[in-house]
Chains A and B, each alone.
Chain A
Amino acid sequence: MTTALNAKYTFETFVIGTANRLAVTAGRTVAENPGSAYNPLFIYSGSGLGKTHVLMAIGHAAKRLAPTLNVEYLTLDEYVEAFHAAIAAGQGDAFRRRFQNVDVLLVDDVQFLSNRKEMQSELLRLTEALQGAGHQIVLTSDRPPPEIADLDERLISRLSGGLVVDIGVPDYETRVAILRRKAEERGTSFQPGVLETVAGLEFANVRELMGALNRLVAFQAVNDQPINAEATKQLLSAAAAAARAAAPVAPGVSPGSGDEFGAFLADVTVTVGKAVEVWRARVGEAVLRWRGEGYRTHRLERLLEQETPAAVDEAIAEFVGDVERLKALQAEVGQLDPQASGESVFRDPERMSEAEEAAAKVRAGVAPPPGPSGAFPLAGYAVGSSNEVAVSAVRAVLDQPGKKYNPLVLVGKSGLGKTHLLNALGLELDRANGAVVACLSTQAFIDELIAAIDGNRVDWWRARYRRATALLLDDIHLIAGKERTQEELFNLFNLLQDQERQLAFTAPAHPNTLTGIEERVVSRLEGGLVAELKEPDRAVKRAVLERLLAGQNVTPEPALLDYLADRPSDSVRSLVGVAQRVVGAAAAEDVPLTAGLAREVLEGQAPREERRSSGFRTSGIVVSSLGGIKSREKMVWDWPEVADRLIEELR
């Protein structure tokens, strides 16, 4: 029933001039804050001046800012038809409900409400319902509400209650700008002065202007040679004269003298055009254009005050460059801190340095979210059968961030290398251009949120994470019972996932076994891939030990590595602790690092051990007389040296 938005009708493709600037500004505001800024927004203008374009542009902009919004565009006629069909089918209530659930309703051509009493009351009711629910309604018409014939008083006051703006006929500069853009779109180029000539003629609306341009395009295509300004004038004035002849002539005006003023105006225009030097016209055009977009143009205006300025084109180009830079800064700042982006400094090319400073300040204020730790490179991650599933999942994610496994949840007991793997993933993701990888512990995430709530800048906090191209949270189970954090994470999760940004988490157990986490969060965690890390296998352990010892400039004998790798150990962390103890002991006693020493350190006096227990094995497992298997390591035979304990604790 509703019409799809025309993809061409966006604010970007709309040429803004003084006549339509208010409507565009209001439209943008409404798109940015649907339902709260101007509700209803009523745009009126003559035919062919861009009502529908602005209306659809609002829809596009709103949709882009909040993709989940339900935006509907339809003309009043379509609305009426749908209503009649619904009534005929006995579905009047369903029809009403359907439109009440629209977040942004765009209704075109409401002037056709004249003499349709039942539709007027229907629209009145709908407007009230939408306003009441905080939903946005935007209407267009060819005349302001009070001038729509036979319109209900209540509807008039309702429609006029928000903001009523009009779009005027574009001025000369805007006309030139429109023609240039359209000619560019059509891939046609004209001799200098041609488009200016077209723009100089009087057209009632943009559609007629387009008609004139089309005629020129066709003429040029047929004649195989570029049309010049003079020929343009002849070609178009013939058409214009025909149109004028068709128009009714006011009584009392003698024929032939009908448009003396028009002719006079045309001549004056030509004279002024000749008199005002070309460069002045160009500067003036630039001034109007950028002023129309809301930038301060003093720098260009000063040019006009000079007699014969040097390098006008360069000055304009420089100005445009500065404006582009300001736009970029403003967009960047807008992402970080929407409020700061409204500052006037971003609209004044004369205060570039101030703008840069302001942007730097915002950037510093909104430091990127904490990134991954450089201490955990992927290259330094030992791979073995116990963790290869997780590692290959990480590699798959790196191949297609945000697309393959999103989210990736690494599950495993403490000390198995989840944090290392998560940070390694973060580091690799961070290499991409423009990447902002947020990689932090869930606890830090919670603490930051609390600080933000405390400092009354949750928006800022949100903006900070919304920038992230990847969000990696360690120990996600810590959000258990933290309702607000879960809420924020849920929203952030959805937002990032929608934009195909990678999410990764670690947890001690499968998400569905974690308690205290809302179902909606759990189900999202389960939605990607849950990869488990198991207790380290021998290959992993050997690799870890080799790397650890190499890092301490120790060249271990293979027997030592085999011994340590063969010892049972439930996590990489405990393995590292054990190895450190051995290294510490060797250093303390100043003896070489050997398997024998390790055995001595870890199992007490090896010979005595042998004597005490017949069940001793090199693996370090003791088979007790009771039949259970006990690891020697778990028993305190000898309290370690204080130095050793300290090392343990430091780990």
Chain B
Amino acid sequence: MSLVNFTTREITCKIVYYGPGRSGKTTNLHYIYGRVPDSRRGRMVSLATQTDRTLFFDFLPIDLGQISGFNTRFQLYTVPGQVYYNATRRLVLQGADGVVFVADSQARQLDENLESLQNLQSNLLEHGVDIRTMPLVLQYNKQDLPRELILSTADLDDALNFRGVASFSADALHGVGVFETLKGVSEMVLKRLAAGSTA
């Protein structure tokens, strides 16, 4: 998928929220959905199980309107976090312009975080994409939980952010850090415009 189409004057950014199950990816999207004016957002598509687990993926299109003469659209996706939905995850990841890795800050979820991160890397490789070239930010979600249950952002950085990408502390349920994260990944994605605009 071409990120910038100079002929039709469109910019389309596909941003995928990735992470282990129950880390809060869909919550991120819900919060964004609630803040985007009606005229700017498409229908949020959510395919969830009866227990509100994402079955396939969530999809939220946002129309940013004309920016510098470009019709700019963001497409936000989440992947199902559970291990056994890997095929869906790979599918959703296809053609992504940027990835937000939503990590669960709870100490006991560290392994799941690491596993999911590795899964991201291998799925990207399946698509022939090196994770080092992919715009990626980390979001340490659920930082509102009691101190004793969670790891600090510094600890999480040590554990997960071995590539030294931008990381954001967040409380997606209440919206803290949600837009900061989106902004972070958007800037990385859009900065590639200059370099890879004609690709």
Instruction: Identify the A interface with B (CB < 8 A).
Output: 171-173, 254, 257, 260-261, 263-265, 267-269, 271-277, 280-281, 284-285, 287-288, 301, 304-307
Cβ contacts under 8 Å, A267 to chain B: 183, 186-187
Task: Tell me the nearest residue of chain A to B7, going by C-beta.
Answer: A301
In the complex with contacts A280-B6, A305-B6, A261-B36 CB distance below 8 A: yes
Could you tell me which residues of chain B, from 70 to 106, have a CB within 8 Å of some CB in chain A? 70, 72
Cβ A268 vs Cβ B67 within 8 A: yes
**10 more CB-based (< 8 A) A-B contacts, given A264-B186, A284-B70:** A172-B68, A260-B175, A260-B178, A260-B179, A265-B65, A271-B190, A272-B72, A287-B69, A301-B6, A307-B198
Cβ contacts under 8 Å, B69 to chain A: 172-173, 276, 281, 284-285, 287-288
Min CB distance B105 to A, Å, is 21
Task: Tell me the nearest residue of chain B to A306, going by C-beta.
Answer: B198
Cβ-based interface call for B35 (8 A) = yes
Cβ-based interface call for B66 (8 A) = yes
Task: Tell me the nearest residue of chain A to B41, going by C-beta.
Answer: A261
Could you tell me which residues of chain B, from 20 to 61, have a CB within 8 Å of some CB in chain A? 32, 35-37, 40
Instruction: Number of B interface residues at 8 Å Cβ cutoff, please give it.
Output: 32
Interface secondary structure of A, over-half rule:
helix
In the complex with contacts A172-B66, A272-B67, A304-B191 CB distance below 8 A: no
Cβ-based interface call for B117 (8 A) = no
Min CB distance A195 to B, Å, is 14
Cβ contacts under 8 Å, B70 to chain A: 272, 276, 284
Please encode chain B, from 168 to 199, with 1 for each CB lying within 8 Å of some chain A CB and 0 for all others. Answer: 00000001001100110011001111100110
A285 vs B7: C-alpha distance when bound (angstroms):
13
Cβ contacts under 8 Å, A273 to chain B: 67-68
Cβ A305 vs Cβ B7 within 8 A: yes
Task: Tell me the nearest residue of chain B to A269, going by C-beta.
Answer: B67
Cβ A271 vs Cβ B186 within 8 A: yes
Task: Tell me the nearest residue of chain A to B9, going by C-beta.
Answer: A284
Cβ B7 vs Cβ A272 within 8 A: no
Cβ-based interface call for B11 (8 A) = yes
Cβ B64 vs Cβ A284 within 8 A: no
Cβ contacts under 8 Å, B193 to chain A: 272, 275-276
Cβ B191 vs Cβ A264 within 8 A: no
A272 vs B193: C-alpha distance when bound (angstroms):
8
Cβ B191 vs Cβ A261 within 8 A: no
Cβ contacts under 8 Å, B35 to chain A: 257, 260-261
A484 vs B9: C-alpha distance when bound (angstroms):
57
Report, nearest first, the 10 A-B pairs whose CB atoms are least far apart.
A284-B69, A275-B193, A304-B6, A271-B190, A260-B179, A272-B67, A261-B35, A171-B66, A275-B194, A276-B68
A301 vs B35: C-alpha distance when bound (angstroms):
35
Cβ contacts under 8 Å, B40 to chain A: 261
Min CB distance B119 to A, Å, is 29
Cβ contacts under 8 Å, A263 to chain B: 179
- 12 CB-based A-B contacts, threshold 8 Å: A171-B65, A173-B69, A257-B35, A260-B179, A264-B179, A268-B187, A269-B68, A271-B191, A272-B190, A275-B192, A281-B69, A284-B68
Cβ A305 vs Cβ B37 within 8 A: no
Cβ contacts under 8 Å, B194 to chain A: 274-277
A261 vs B31: C-alpha distance when bound (angstroms):
11
Contact of B68 among A254, A281, A304, A306 (CB under 8 A): A281
A277 vs B198: C-alpha distance when bound (angstroms):
12
Cβ contacts under 8 Å, A257 to chain B: 35, 175
Min CB distance B117 to A, Å, is 26
A114 vs B18: C-alpha distance when bound (angstroms):
55
Min CB distance A242 to B, Å, is 21
A600 vs B6: C-alpha distance when bound (angstroms):
95
Could you tell me which residues of chain B, from 108 to 162, have a CB within 8 Å of some CB in chain A? none
Cβ contacts under 8 Å, A268 to chain B: 64, 67, 72, 183, 186-187, 190
In the complex with contacts A276-B193, A277-B194, A264-B183 CB distance below 8 A: yes
Cβ contacts under 8 Å, B9 to chain A: 284, 287
Cβ contacts under 8 Å, B191 to chain A: 271, 274-275
Cβ A261 vs Cβ B179 within 8 A: yes
Task: Tell me the nearest residue of chain A to B182, going by C-beta.
Answer: A264
Task: Tell me the nearest residue of chain A to B176, going by C-beta.
Answer: A257
Cβ contacts under 8 Å, A275 to chain B: 190-194, 197
Min CB distance B15 to A, Å, is 12
In the complex with contacts A271-B190, A284-B68, A304-B179 CB distance below 8 A: no
In the complex with contacts A281-B69, A301-B7, A271-B187 CB distance below 8 A: yes
Cβ B183 vs Cβ A304 within 8 A: no
Which one of A172, A173, A271 has the greatest number of beta carbons of chain B within 10 Å? A271
A172 vs B36: C-alpha distance when bound (angstroms):
20
A287 vs B11: C-alpha distance when bound (angstroms):
16
Cβ contacts under 8 Å, B32 to chain A: 261
Cβ contacts under 8 Å, B179 to chain A: 260-261, 263-264
Cβ B198 vs Cβ A305 within 8 A: yes
A264 vs B186: C-alpha distance when bound (angstroms):
9
Task: Tell me the nearest residue of chain B to A298, going by C-beta.
Answer: B7
Cβ contacts under 8 Å, B7 to chain A: 301, 304-305
